């Protein structure tokens, strides 16, 4: 099989058509799992609201030794042990609300044929999917399609308690945004996310961290990453996530499983990193966190790897606090070997980027790229999952030690096997664009993800004396960084170097497919995820819009991207790919300058000018044209269930992979088996 065919096996399709499966009674769901054969695997679980639920397989599981399977099992258990942390981080009433809704779902024996009950079930599934009452992508509070009176009736019938603010918030306008990134408001006060007490302000946060000085300014600590900011008697203080501290009961359970994992580590480097992660959970010490990240980044040998802790800061309006997440990975050696060519040539890409010379790295070190198969996810990575990850996030560790980039191969494969092309044909300008996408689009997506993660996030450097981007660029830091990495990928996707490296057979066609898809999505198709009248608030959606809209505007004089009306429908057609390539290079140079210099005024003008407001006429048209497609715009996954078999002495002798039959069944099982945080009555 040639390289192109191999790559196409595990590539991300933009949209997926799924079918709806019947949901079984909840009393059966909680224990029911089914063995799934490798042949004719059913990737689709069900659809509801704007969500489709899929399954994924774990290729190569049977090729792992029992010791390796134990390591995977212990790491997945550690990940799930912290699941409730993410729920509480997302909103202070989430756990109480979930507990009440699940008790109703399990206990209610009244009429389940009514629209009200169907709407209740759908609402609960949406809450499960988002790890709380705010939409996983838009951050807006989700509104139930049933009345407060009906919920009170359900609560009374099932002897369930949910009252006061935790009841009222389901139906009122309070805490309407989990994360509010709007300009001109107090972002912390207006965000419902539970990283800050309700009376903490932007100024409180800024003043508190002004007093924090890292022992080594060249290796700044990630202040705020693992804590909640509160006021006690008017004094701002941190409540640190650690054993004996905030979330201590769940963290102790995480530590228990990590210690078991350390006992079956594949090598000394892996065991050392796990030991440092355990020490970090015990102490909450941020220097230990950095020591762990250095050790974890350097531990590149073995079949198994993992992500676990408080990591990505997208849910913090000011970019300090990390959301809990866990991803357990099994290396796909064949695909990793083929894609390692990007890592080996990272310096070439840096040297040939359009950045100002002062902003280029003299030596790009330690960038590793692997294709992996996911064995389990939790927290911020589940049910909605990334398709690629690059860590650690600390700029100084990236520069001094390097980073790990992974592509989640079996997740991407699951998307592709549930895929369809209806929306492509509706929004593509002509048949040539459709043909390019169908033949080269998946390969282009795969390479863009790889270039984004491996080269993009590892490229560039800050000017001497410039602080971390969360301090200099504030609420715009996340979208600027994601857009910058996207631009690195876009710039090099239209480059003969990819063909020289053996990654593509026709670099121009791959590049054209990539550019078509990016502009089509950035200016039109991603709008199906928004309600008419909404601003763009999610960091990745913002970056795709400001990149596309900036290129469209700057290329108007040369008609680089043409806005076309055909049969009453709007399209964006690229007339000059070479010029668009130059424009992407210009914007990449400017975004790196903004990051390197910490230019807040420039990033604000870029994002607010191009990335926030939506053309209402186009948005209304996109929504109308999209009505013909029943497939929801968002996808997520249930996780395979690893079931250990033991002998009379209690020793694990084998571990089987099973699949949950329903989404509700897995969610209820998780609540039954992994609820380690106390819920107030």
The predicted model gives 630-637 an average pLDDT of 90
Residue 313 has pLDDT above 70, yes or no: yes
Query: CA 242 to CA 277: how far, in whole Å?
Result: 11
- Which tens digit of pLDDT belongs to each residue from 128-151? 999 999 999 999 999 999 999 999
Query: CA 527 to CA 621: how far, in whole Å?
Result: 10
The predicted model gives 216-224 an average pLDDT of 95
8 A C-beta contact, residue 669 and residue 30: yes
Say if residue 383 is preceded by a cis peptide, omega within 30 of 0. Answer: yes
pLDDT of amino acid 8: 33
Q: What is the number of H-type helices and E-type strands within the chain?
A: 28, 15
By C-alpha distance, which of 254, 268, 288 is closest to 83?
254
8 A C-beta contact, residue 540 and residue 452: no
pLDDT of amino acid 419: 61
pLDDT band (50, 70, 90) for residue 681: low
In degrees and rounded to multiples of 5, residue 445 shows phi and psi of -60, -45
Cα dihedral angle (58, 62, 64, 65), rounded to 10 degrees?
A: 150
Reported in sequence order, the residue ranges of 142-295 that DSSP labels E, i.e. its strands, are 227-232, 235-240
pLDDT band (50, 70, 90) for residue 34: very low
By C-alpha distance, which of 26, 171, 52 is closest to 105?
26
pLDDT of amino acid 550: 98
- 47: region left, alpha or beta (phi > 0 left; psi from -120 to 50 alpha): beta
- With H, G, I as helix, E, B as strand and everything else as coil, classify residue 293: helix
pLDDT of amino acid 420: 61
By C-alpha distance, which of 357, 349, 314 is closest to 543?
314
Query: CA 62 to CA 162: how far, in whole Å?
Result: 46
**Which residues make beta-bridge pairs with 129?**
none
Q: How far is CA 615 from CA 45, 323, 529, 536, in A?
A: 35, 32, 14, 11
Query: CA 653 to CA 106: how far, in whole Å?
Result: 34
8 A C-beta contact, residue 45 and residue 662: yes
For residue 145, give the DSSP letter: S
pLDDT of amino acid 340: 85
Which positions ≥6 away from 454 have C-beta within 8 Å? 342, 343, 346, 367, 369, 390, 405
Q: Given 3-state DSSP classes, what are the helix, strand and coil percentages for the chain, each rounded to the nearest 5?
A: 50, 15, 40
- When the pLDDT of each residue in the chain is averaged and rounded to a whole number, the result is 92
pLDDT band (50, 70, 90) for residue 349: very high
- Which tens digit of pLDDT belongs to each residue from 177-198? 999 999 999 999 999 999 999 9
Helices (H), 108-213: 115-130, 148-157, 165-168, 202-210
Query: CA 311 to CA 380: how far, in whole Å?
Result: 9
pLDDT of amino acid 421: 67
Which positions ≥6 away from 128 have C-beta within 8 Å? 98, 383, 663, 664, 667
Q: How far is CA 561 from CA 323, 436, 554, 557, in A?
A: 38, 17, 9, 10
Residue 239 has pLDDT above 80, yes or no: yes
pLDDT of amino acid 486: 97
Residue 226 has pLDDT above 80, yes or no: yes
pLDDT of amino acid 40: 76
- With H, G, I as helix, E, B as strand and everything else as coil, classify residue 630: coil
- Which tens digit of pLDDT belongs to each residue from 359-405? 999 998 878 888 899 999 999 999 999 988 999 999 999 989 999 98
8 A C-beta contact, residue 411 and residue 459: no
Which positions ≥6 away from 337 have C-beta within 8 Å? none
The predicted model gives 584-604 an average pLDDT of 98
Query: CA 68 to CA 261: how far, in whole Å?
Result: 10
8 A C-beta contact, residue 398 and residue 481: no
């Amino acid at each position: 099989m040639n390289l192109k065919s191999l790559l196409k096996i595990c590539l991300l399709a933009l949209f997926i058509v799924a079918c709806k499966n019947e949901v079984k009674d909840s009393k059966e769901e909680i224990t029911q799992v089914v063995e799934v054969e490798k042949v004719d695997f059913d990737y689709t679980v069900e659809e509801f609201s704007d969500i489709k639920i899929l399954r994924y397989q774990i290729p190569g599981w049977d090729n792992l030794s029992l010791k390796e399977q134990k390591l995977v099992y212990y790491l997945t258990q550690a990940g799930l042990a912290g699941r409730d942390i993410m729920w509480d981080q997302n909103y202070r009433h989430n756990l109480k609300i979930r507990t009440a809704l699940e008790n109703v779902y399990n206990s209610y024996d009244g009429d389940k044929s009514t629209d009200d009950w169907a709407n209740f079930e759908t609402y609960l599934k949406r809450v499960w999917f988002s790890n709380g009452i705010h939409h996983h992508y838009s951050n807006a509070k989700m509104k139930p399609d049933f009345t407060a009176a009906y919920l009170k009736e359900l609560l009374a019938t099932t002897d369930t308690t949910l009252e006061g603010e935790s009841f009222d918030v389901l139906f009122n306008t309070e805490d309407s945004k989990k994360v509010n990134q709007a300009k001109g408001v107090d972002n912390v006060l207006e965000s419902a996310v539970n990283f800050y007490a309700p009376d903490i302000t932007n100024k409180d946060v800024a003043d508190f961290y002004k007093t924090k000085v890292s022992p080594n300014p060249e290796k700044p600590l990630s202040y705020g990453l693992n804590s909640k900011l509160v006021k006690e008697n008017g004094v701002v203080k941190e409540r640190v996530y650690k054993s004996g501290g905030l979330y201590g009961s769940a963290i102790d359970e995480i530590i228990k499983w990590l210690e078991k994992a350390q006992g079956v580590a594949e090598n000394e480097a892996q065991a050392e990193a796990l030991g440092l992660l355990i020490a970090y959970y015990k102490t909450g010490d941020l220097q230990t966190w950095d020591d762990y990240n250095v050790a974890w980044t350097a531990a590149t040998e073995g079949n198994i790897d993992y992500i676990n802790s408080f990591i990505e800061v997208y849910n913090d309006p000011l970019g300090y606090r990390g959301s809990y997440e866990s991803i357990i990975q099994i290396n796909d050696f064949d695909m990793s070997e083929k894609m390692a060519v990007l890592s080996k040539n990272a310096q070439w890409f840096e040297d040939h980027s359009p950045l100002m010379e002062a902003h280029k790295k003299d030596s790009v070190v330690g960038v590793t790229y692997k294709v992996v198969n996911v064995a389990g996810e939790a927290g911020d990575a589940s049910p909605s999952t990334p398709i690629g990850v690059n860590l650690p996030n600390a700029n100084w560790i990236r520069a001094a030690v390097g980073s790990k980039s992974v592509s989640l191969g079996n997740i991407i494969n699951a998307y592709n096997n549930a895929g369809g092309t209806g929306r492509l044909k509706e929004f593509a300008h002509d048949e040539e664009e459709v043909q390019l996408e169908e033949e080269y689009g998946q390969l282009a997506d795969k390479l863009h993800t790889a270039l984004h993660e491996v080269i993009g996030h590892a490229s560039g450097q800050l000017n001497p004396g410039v602080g971390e981007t969360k301090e200099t660029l504030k609420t715009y830091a996340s979208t600027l960084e994601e857009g910058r990495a996207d631009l690195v990928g876009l710039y090099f996707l239209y480059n003969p170097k990819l063909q020289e490296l053996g990654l593509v057979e026709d670099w121009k066609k791959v590049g054209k497919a990539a550019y078509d898809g990016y502009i089509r999505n950035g200016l039109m198709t991603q709008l199906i995820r928004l309600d008419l009248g909404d601003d763009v608030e999610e960091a990745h959606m913002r970056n795709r819009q400001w990149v596309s809209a900036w290129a469209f505007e700057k290329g108007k004089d040369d008609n680089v991207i043409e806005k076309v009306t055909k049969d009453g429908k709007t399209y964006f057609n690229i007339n000059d790919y070479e010029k668009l390539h130059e424009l992407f290079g210009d914007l990449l140079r400017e975004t790196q300058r903004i990051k390197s210099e910490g230019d807040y005024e420039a990033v604000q003008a870029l994002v607010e000018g191009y990335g926030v407001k939506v053309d209402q006429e186009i948005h209304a048209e996109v929504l109308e044209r999209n009505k013909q497609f029943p497939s929801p715009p968002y996808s997520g996954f249930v996780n395979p269930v690893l079931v250990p078999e033991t002998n009379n002495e209690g020793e694990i002798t084998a571990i089987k992979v099973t699949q949950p039959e329903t989404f509700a069944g897995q969610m209820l099982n998780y609540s039954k088996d992994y609820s380690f945080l106390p819920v107030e009555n």
